[in-house]
Amino acid sequence: MKLIIDTDPGIDDAMAIAYAAAAPEIELVGLTTVFGNTHVHQSSRNARYLLDKLGLSIPVAQGASFPRGSESHTPSEHVHGPEGFGDLTDIPEIGYNHALPAAEFLAEMARVHKGELVVCAIGPLTNIADAIRLDPEFSSNLKRLVIMGGAVFCPGNITEHAEANIYHDAAAANEVFATPPETVLVGLDVTLKTLYEAADFEALASRSPHMGAFLHDISRFYLKFYKEIGGLEGCGLHDSTAVIACTHDPMFDMASIGLQVIAHGPELGATRPDPSRPSISVCRNVDGAGVVRLFTDRVASLP
């Protein structure tokens, strides 16, 4: 499967990118970056740093700096740390971004790999909405769009109504769901059933002394957040679960539902069923233990 990950790295993004690099079913052909967990220039730097650690030479195309209609964004430092990787703050600038901005890169790659390319969006959906606006054939050129976002049948995580990726650009998300390509939504309805605990990170580090140890080290900040805010003894494999959904449909129970995103007011970012919208596949349940095992086994195969 040819895959582009649209990302805002981010600790859980780093885990997802490592998984994609290790998965034999996936040919990772590029990363596109967006604001979200960090500012977009940090997202791009972190993406290039991760690819260097993974020994991958693929493009990183930088995308949107801000949500639709805004000229500011506050990163999630309290969740991911000041530079996106927990307590790690000395992150070198390695290499350069691709010449094309993210939306143009996405549209171009969808044309080049028509009917083959899957895009997995694990940050705000601004770049995806921009690509749909830019190229009317973008959606039909894609094989599938897989989104980590939303809380359709459960409470949100940034507010009681909304999941963070959708909340950070509700207008863009609403545009995407209005005219989607074939889409799978992997939201909090399932990702909170894939808890990854400190012992799992320790086992991963022992099996993968380079990449696994890196993920173990940056995860400490993330696990502390989950413990202090949610009282949880682990973190959800949010972004990794979305990447796994790109290739392992049988691990998920899905419902075909149209969605609207609330773009204003106190329920900003809420993902509500709307039968007037085109149907997408919304994940309602998951083999959580299977996802945890698969993630560990694949990432543990890395050096």
Q: What is the pLDDT of residues 16-42, one digit of tens each?
A: 999 999 999 999 999 999 999 999 999
Question: Annotated catalytic residue: which of 80, 238, 239, 287?
Answer: 238
pLDDT digits 0-9 by tens, 103-137 = 999 999 999 999 999 999 999 999 999 999 999 99
282 near 255, Cβ under 8 Å?
yes
Sign of the dihedral through C-alpha 298, 300, 301, 302: positive
| 41, HSE (Cβ side, Cα atoms, 13 Å) | 2
> Is 238 tagged catalytic?
yes
Q: Which two tokens stand for residue 38?
A: 């960090």
Give catalytic status of residue 8 as yes or no. yes
Q: Report the percent of the chain where pLDDT is more than 90.
A: 97
User: Mean pLDDT across the chain, nearest whole number?
Assistant: 97
Q: What is the mean pLDDT of residues 183-211?
A: 97
- pLDDT at 229 (0 to 100): 86
What whole-number distance in Å separates Cα of residue 150 and Cα of residue 45?
27
For residue 260, count CB atoms less than 10 angstroms from its CB and return exposed for 0-12, middle for 13-18, buried for 19 or more.
middle
pLDDT of residue 135: 97
Using one digit for the tens of pLDDT, what is the confidence trace for 34-77?
999 999 999 999 999 999 999 999 999 999 999 998 999 999 99
User: Which tens digits make up the pLDDT trace of 132-168?
Assistant: 999 999 999 999 999 999 999 999 999 999 999 999 9
State the catalytic residue, choosing from 8, 130, 189, 239.
Answer: 8
Question: Between the CA of residue 269 and those of 75, 158, 167, 170, 179, what are the distances in Å?
Answer: 17, 9, 4, 5, 18
Query: Three-state DSSP class for 242?
Result: helix
Nearest to 18 by CA among 275, 196, 162: 196
pLDDT tier, 244 (very low <50, low <70, confident <90, very high otherwise): very high
